[in-house]
Structure 1
Amino acid sequence: MVDPRGPRFAAAVTVVVLAAAIITGSPWVLLAQAAVFAVGSLAGIRHAPYGLVFRYLIRPRLGPPAEMEAEAPPRFAQTVGLMFTLVGAVGLLAGVPALGYTLAAFAFVAAFLNAVFGLCLGCRMYLVLRSITAKGVRA
């Protein structure tokens, strides 16, 4: 279980990083964000760099969360973000800027929706895929 404010904080930082990547056209900034997503995806969001900043610097200054949430949906969202930023960076490095900018923009929009409105698209995808998988198993 995780404090839902942590992934939202991480999404806000991600918005800034992805905006910098899009504005500068830097595949290296996208790769740096991909590395952050990779840690969150593989080791868990509590161990990702932005999660550590939230855990040690921000959360102690806040009251306890109203409720906790399962880690699996935001962790899946980190995996989706990893795929978008990684392929976007490869697109920029391979001289296919349309691919790079498009995938970076999609990741930016998803992070923005999470940061501003608390709408985690990757989390929703996780829940939909899980319900489809569960229905398929029962059939």
Structure 2
Amino acid sequence: MLDPRGSRFVAAVTSVVLALVIVLSSGWLALAQTVVFGIGAASVWYAPYGWLYRKIVARRIGPPPPMREPSQPVRFAQGLGFVLMAVATFGYLVGVPTVGMVATTVAFAAAFAKAVTGLSLGCEVYLLLRRLHVRV
């Protein structure tokens, strides 16, 4: 179970990085964010921004609230971010920046929504698929 404040912090940092990718049209920064999403999809415990939250932020803001969120939907959302940013990285690095821009913008919108409202679009997709009995 995860501290929901941590996933919002991660989404905020991700939003900043993705905004930089959009502004700079940087394939290499997109690649770095793709790796971060890949690590988060494999294990939220080792995700770089989550680690930063646990080691620096969480110690300063006190214990987590009693309500926690399961890690599976968060890992699924990180996997969706990984796919989007893999497409973006490909687009930027092979010279099709429009593909990179569109994929990064979709990822940015999802991360920004999570950071501001706490609503994770990737987690909602996960829950919808589970309700439809799709194995994820």
Work out whether the TM-score is over 0.5.
Answer: yes
Q: Which residue of 2 aligns with 1:98?
A: 98
Structure 1 partner of 2:72: 72
Which region of structure 1 is more displaced relative to structure 2, 125-134 or 104-113? 125-134
User: How far off is 1:99 after superposition?
Assistant: 0.8
Q: Confirm or deny: 8 A CA contact 1:14 1:111 kept in the other structure.
A: yes
Q: Runs of at least 4 residues of structure 1 off by over 3 A?
A: none
Q: Which has the larger radius of gyration?
A: 1
Matching of residue 12 in structure 1 with residue 12 in structure 2:
yes
Q: What number of residue pairs does the alignment pair up?
A: 134
Q: Deviations over 1:61-88 (max 9, x none)?
A: 1222221110001110000000001111
User: TM-score w.r.t. structure 1 length?
Assistant: 0.92
Aligned residue number for residue 132 of structure 1: 132
* CA deviation after TM superposition for structure 1 residue 97, in Å: 1.3
SS for the counterpart of 1:133 is coil
Q: How many angstroms does 1:12 deviate by?
A: 0.3
Cα displacement (A) at 1:96: 1.3
Query: Which secondary structure state, in structure 2, belongs to the residue aligned with residue 69 of structure 1?
Result: coil
SS in structure 2 opposite 1:92?
helix
Q: Which runs of 5+ in 1 are unaligned?
A: none
Give unmatched runs, 5+ long, in structure 2.
none
Q: Residue 60 of structure 1: CA displacement? A: 1.1
Question: How far apart in 1 are the matches of 2:28 and 2:8?
Answer: 24
Q: Distance in 2 between matches of 1:109 and 1:90?
A: 19
How far the C-alpha of 1:133 sits from its partner, in A, is 1.3
Matched, 1:39 2:59: no
Secondary structure in 1 matching 2:133? helix
Paired residue type of 2:63: P
Name 1:50's counterpart in structure 2.
49
